[in-house]
């Protein structure tokens, strides 16, 4: 079979006619959506009104170059005008904007379009100890008039004993189960809250996936030196006692967890920042990304 036989002339003519009609309809609809006349589009694109009239009427045998000018003037891509899709230009334009958006914006769009409210107004601060999760979480919750919840305190209340005793009695596996149960309880109890979790939560894949699915997550990070200094400033000198390699180990721990922490919806670096400055940036971040509503001072 020859190439000519593979694509009968009548079928090709029909495809061309359909393409011309489709492009014409989309140019006309795109022009209407931004409220400009054909004359204005002609001035913006450099394509004559006669050509534009033929194009919108489905009779235009316009060149690719001229069609690209029209697309640029309308603020859409050439692909939008010629794609085999019944979507209106507005939807195609939104698709292009979505493709160019950052990941947090895409995540919010997906959630809104799906009608899901799985994350609601819950924010979870993750990261290593000493980043400022508890301090900033409590302050942000007060500013937003939202509950502040420390996951470990919820675990202690559920287990009826301090975390150290839970670990000694039930071991890591028992602790992780209580951790998952406590997280589910927070989701059940609060549609709006600021939550701080232990840095090691990323080590349990299923629990961390649940957290990412049900909370707007923010990785609160700092330099290794500041992590260590802040822990010691809290009166806990254990990280350094009898361990000259403590800083090196901290760096290794941070590096090993970075990929998981980076899965968060946003990042707040508190390195070299005062508590007030970090709080201001945290509140601005949550407002900009629409994580939670509330009056910000």
pLDDT tens digits, one per residue of 137-185:
999 999 999 999 999 999 998 888 998 899 898 888 888 889 999 999 9
Token readout for 236 is 């806990």
Fold classification of 105-289 (topology level): Rossmann fold (3.40.50)
pLDDT at position 252, please? 86
Eight-state DSSP code of residue 215: S
CATH superfamily membership of 3-100:
lambda repressor-like DNA-binding domains (1.10.260.40)
Stronger pLDDT, 162 or 7, i.e. the higher one: 162
Mean pLDDT of all residues in 29-55: 86
Q: Is pLDDT above 60 for 201?
A: yes
Stronger pLDDT, 98 or 277, i.e. the higher one: 277
Classify 265 as helix, strand or coil: coil
If we measure between CA atoms, which residue out of 162, 168, 204, 197 comes closest to residue 182?
197
In degrees, rounded to 5, the angle at the alpha carbon of residue 256 between the alpha carbons of residues 194 and 202 is 35
What Cα–Cα distance (Å) separates residue 132 from each residue in 63, 142, 153, 251?
60, 15, 17, 17
Question: CA–CA separation, 205 vs 228, rounded Å?
Answer: 26
Classify 186 as helix, strand or coil: helix
Stronger pLDDT, 34 or 96, i.e. the higher one: 34
Which segments of the chain belong to CATH 1.10.260.40?
3-100
Question: CA–CA separation, 66 vs 84, rounded Å?
Answer: 20
If we measure between CA atoms, which residue out of 79, 76, 92 comes closest to residue 31?
76
Q: Residue 104's Cα: distance from chain center in Å?
A: 2
Q: Is pLDDT above 90 for 55?
A: no
DSSP characters for 41-83?
Answer: HHHHH---HHHHHHHHTT-----HHHHHHHHHHHT--HHHHHS
Q: Are 119 and 111 in contact (CB under 8 A)?
A: yes
Q: Quick count: other Cβ atoms within 10 Å of Cβ 107?
A: 16
pLDDT at position 295, please? 47
In degrees, rounded to 5, the angle at the alpha carbon of residue 111 between the alpha carbons of residues 202 and 80 is 120
Token readout for 77 is 């891509």
Which segments of the chain belong to CATH 3.40.50.300?
105-289
Q: How confident is the model at residue 85 (pLDDT cuts 50, 70, 90)?
A: low
pLDDT at position 116, please? 45
pLDDT at position 92, please? 62
266 sits in which H/E element: strand 266-269
Q: How many residues does the chain have?
A: 297
Stronger pLDDT, 84 or 130, i.e. the higher one: 130
């Amino acid at each position: 079979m020859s190439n000519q036989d593979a694509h009968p002339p009548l079928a090709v003519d029909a495809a061309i006619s359909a393409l011309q009609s489709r492009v014409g309809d989309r140019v006309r609809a795109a022009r209407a959506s931004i409220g400009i006349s054909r004359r204005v589009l002609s001035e913006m694109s450099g394509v004559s009104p006669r050509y534009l009239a033929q194009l919108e009427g489905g009779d235009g045998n316009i060149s690719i170059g001229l069609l690209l000018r029209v697309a640029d003037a309308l603020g859409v891509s050439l692909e939008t005008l010629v794609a085999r899709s019944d979507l209106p230009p507005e939807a195609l334009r939104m698709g292009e904007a979505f493709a160019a958006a950052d990941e947090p914006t895409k995540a919010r769009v997906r959630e809104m379009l799906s009608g899901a409210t799985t994350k609601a107004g819950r924010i979870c601060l993750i990261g290593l100890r000493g980043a400022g999760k508890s301090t900033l979480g409590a302050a942000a919750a007060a500013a937003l008039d939202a509950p502040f919840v420390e996951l470990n305190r919820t675990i202690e209340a559920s287990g009826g004993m301090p975390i150290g005793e839970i670990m000694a009695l039930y071991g890591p596996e028992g602790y992780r189960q209580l951790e998952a149960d406590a997280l589910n309880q927070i989701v059940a109890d609060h549609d709006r809250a600021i939550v701080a979790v232990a840095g090691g939560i990323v080590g349990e894949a299923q629990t961390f996936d649940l957290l990412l699915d049900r909370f707007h997550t923010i990785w609160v990070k700092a330099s290794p030196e500041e992590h260590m200094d802040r822990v010691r400033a809290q009166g806990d000198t254990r990280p350094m006692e009898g361990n000259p390699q403590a800083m090196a180990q901290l760096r290794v721990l941070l590096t090993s967890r970075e990929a998981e922490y980076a899965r968060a919806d946003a990042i707040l670096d508190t390195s070299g920042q005062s508590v007030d400055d970090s709080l201001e940036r945290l509140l601005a971040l949550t407002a900009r990304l629409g994580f939670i509503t509330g009056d910000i001072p």
